[in-house]
Structure 1
C-alpha cells in the first residue's frame, strides 16, 4: 500500500502522484483527511480523479462526494464513463439523482436518465452508449474520415454499427475490416448483416449467454422496432460475472452484506450467529473423528485449533 508524503510542496507531490496508478491511490484515499483528499484531487488530472472515484466503494463514494465543492463534483462526474456514472447515481433516491445529474453536461445526464429507467435485471441496465455509428450509404472514405474525426477516448471501436435512413441498426462492421477495405468497396458489401443482438426486454443472463456462446466482443441492444439503444461489451459481461460471483460467495459463506458505516461492534454482532453455528459444527465434527482411532491422536493435539477455525 502506498504512503504519500503531504509535507511535500504541490509540485513535488504532483510529480509523485503522476507515477502512481489510480487503483493504488483509491486504496488509501478514503483513509486520508478531507484536506488531503481535496489536495490529491486538485493535483491529478480530471481523468485520473474520476478513475480514483470510480474505484471507491458505494459508501466511500457517497462520503467523498459530500465533501467535494461544486466545481470538483463537476470535474469528477463529467469524466466518469457512462456505466460508472449510472452506477453512482443509482445509489440515491430519485430526487437526489436529479441534483447529482445537475453537475453533468445535459447530453450525458439525459443518457443516464434513460438508462435508469430499466430494471437492474434487464440487459440495458449494463449497456454503454459510447460507440460509433455510420450510415449504410457512406463510402469507405467517408466512414474512415468520420471515425478519425469523431472517435473519443472512451468510445468502444472494435465494432462500428451501421444504421439506415431511419436510424435503425442494419449491420455491424469490425473496425479491422474497415481499415483493410478497398476504396471502391461499399459499406453494404463489407458489413456483417447476420449479427447477434439483444432486445431491450431481454435479461442480463440472456445477454451474457449470447456473448459467451458466440465469443463476441460486443452485443448491440435494440428495441423491437430495430433502433440501437446501446451495446454490452465483453468487459461489461466480465464485471457482471465477477459481481455475481461475489454475491454467490457471500451466500455460500453465510456472509451477509453489511453497511461500511457499521462500527466494528455492529459487524461482530452480525457475524456472531454464524460464528456460533460454525464453532458448534466444528466441535461435533471433531468429536466424531475422535471416536475414530486413526484420527484420535492427531485431533487430540490440535483440538484447540478446531474451536478457533471459524474465527480465521
Structure 2
C-alpha cells in the first residue's frame, strides 16, 4: 500500500519533504497539494504529477487523500489541523503546532473528541541518531541523574525579517522540545540573559541571547541562541550528570589536516545537519500511519513547547525568572 499524502503549503520545507518522500523514503507519495499561492500549488502539482486543490478544505476532505502533511506558515496551522482531525485523518504538522498555547489546547480538544491521537508535530531532533544515543545513555542510568544541560544553537545569519521573539519561537523551540524529551520532565521557569550584542546583526535584534530554563526536578538548561555567528550551523548539547557527561560530537562534514593544522568543515544549515533525522522522522510517520497508529511527538508536546515559548518571549523583557504553568495532561496523552 502506498500512503497518499496531501500537502498544505508546499514551500521550501514542503518541497524538501516531497523530495525525500519521492526519492529516499518508502511507502508514501505526495499526490495532492494546496497553497494560498495558487500558482505555486499548480507548479508543484505539475512537478509531482499530482492534483492542485483549490483549498486546504478540499484537499483534507478528498477521498483520494489518506493523510495530511502541513508545512504552511505557523499561524495558519490550527484550522487545517482541526479539519484533518475531524476528517479522521492522520496529520503531520511542522512546528509550531500553533502559534499560541490556547490554539494548541483547541487542537487537543478536537483530538480528545475524536478519541485518538492523530497529530504528529515535526520536532525532528527526536529522530537524530546522536540525540537518540544521548537519550539511551541517560535513560539507562549509565551516568546517573542529569544535573545540568548546556546547549548552543548557532546559525550563520538570519534574514532581516527575523524578529527578537523568533529567537525563542522559531529557534530555541527546538531545544525546548528536545530537552523535554531528553530529560523526561517539564520546565517550571524561564529567564533570558542578554550578553554583549554582535555588531554583525540587524539593529532590532538582541543577538546572542541565552535562555535559562529549570525543570521540575531542578535540572538547569542553558540554551545559547546566536543566529549571526557567521561561521556555520553549529548545534551543541552537553548533559552533565552525577557520574559522567554526554555531549554531541562535532558535526563536521569532513576533517582536514595540512600545514595549518587539523580542522573541521562544519555544516551550514539545518538540512545538512539534520537531513538524516528528517528522513527517519517522515519514514517512521508514514510507516505508522500505514499501520494505523500514532508515532512521534503529540499535540501535547506542541502545547508544552508553546507554553515554554510564551514564557521565554515574556522573559525577553521581564526582570528575572518567569514561571511556567501548564494545564494537567489529558488522559489521551498520558
TM-score normalised per structure 2: 0.27
Which structure: larger Rg?
A: 1
Higher helix share: 1
Higher relative contact order (CA 8 A, sep 6+): 2
